[in-house]
Amino acid sequence: MRAVVARRLDGPEAVELIETGVPEPAAGQVRIKVAAAAVNPVDLAVSNGMLVEFGLTAPRPQFGLGWDVAGTVDATGPGTQLQEGERVIGVADLLAQTLKTHAEYVVLNADAVARAPRTVELDHAATLGLNGLTALQAVKALAGQTVLVTGAAGGVGGYAVELAKHFGKTVIASAAASDEDLVRRLGADHFVDRNEDLAAAVRRYAPAGVDAVVDAAVVGIAAQEAVRNGGHHIHPQGGTRPPHLRGITVEQLFVNANTEELNELVALVDANVISTRVAETYPLEDAATAYKRLAEGGVRGRLVLLP
């Protein structure tokens, strides 16, 4: 089969398409014939060596690329509930795998897989898992009523806006001025231009500061300054997290792939509560082009590889 990997770890130029054997599922695993696989910022972080630099994984000769997948179950190991031929989504959240979802086939633990939404095509379903789980786990961790979401037009931020509204929060969203209409359609109660002084702008709507921030854009201290004393700061990325200033709890969130919450997201897609967004699709052999496009920035929705 064909698979996309990184060996040199020097950014999009490190992305290679190789020929390799089709992996076999062990007990508790399923093999998925990949129909679509989103490209996420974490894939760039793997390809440029940032995750090694952060100490999140050890160096190795080859890193598999791709976290999100949508496709059909092709084979199962003993002890799994899914059946061959079922449409599924999954998340490959293990960092140190030599083969991952940017491939024609991928093997995942069954507890990181769920049946795909019925109401969207598989290219759209492939954008749900990683970003949706990150946003869902962030929003579930929050206390309080008012929430600031930075990067609200992005993959994680967009889902965080929709999910926070679903859970009854008042949402102040920060993004580029050109994204205001999009962010308001996602459900934001208030919009703040990311080029403004964030804390001052947020206090127009929450004079004492927001109860919490989901810092999807990883703004850091500038986002934390918009949070009230004793509030909550979700930092959804590796590397150094902001300090606990003014009694604010800073939680560094690493996604946990699990069937239960994937099922929750799928139900919300099928109920039209949250939306999937595909920016562009690329054939698998053009993976390096997709990585370069993501590195340029300004993508709204996800770039998706089609084997």
CATH value at residue 100: 3.90.180.10
Q: Is residue 295 part of a domain?
A: yes
The CATH number of the domain where 192 resides is what?
A: 3.40.50.720
- Rounded to two decimals, the pTM is 0.95
Residue 96 sits at φ, ψ, to 5 deg, of -100, 35
Residues 116 and 229 placed together within one structural domain of the fold: no
- CB-neighbour burial class of residue 73 (10 A; exposed 0-12, middle 13-18, buried 19+): buried
Q: Is residue 174 part of a domain?
A: yes
Strand, coil or helix: 125: helix
Tell me the pLDDT of the chain (307 aa) as tens digits. 999 999 988 889 889 999 999 999 999 999 999 999 999 999 999 998 888 877 788 888 999 999 999 999 999 999 999 999 999 999 999 887 999 999 999 999 999 999 999 999 999 999 999 999 999 999 999 989 999 999 999 999 999 999 999 999 999 999 999 999 999 999 999 999 999 999 999 999 999 999 999 999 999 999 999 999 999 999 998 778 899 999 999 999 999 999 999 999 999 999 999 999 999 999 999 999 999 999 999 899 999 999 9
Expressed as residue numbers, the domain containing 71 is 2-128+276-306
Residue 152 sits at φ, ψ, to 5 deg, of -70, -15
Number of compact structural domains in the chain: 2
| Helix intervals (H) in the chain | 41-47, 50-53, 122-125, 129-141, 155-166, 180-186, 198-202, 221-224, 259-270, 287-296
Residues 235 and 291 placed together within one structural domain of the fold: no
- CB-neighbour burial class of residue 106 (10 A; exposed 0-12, middle 13-18, buried 19+): buried
Report d(CA 172, CA 92) in Å as an integer. 31
Q: Is residue 262 part of a domain?
A: no
Residues 122 and 135 placed together within one structural domain of the fold: no
Strand, coil or helix: 81: coil
pLDDT for 140 = 96
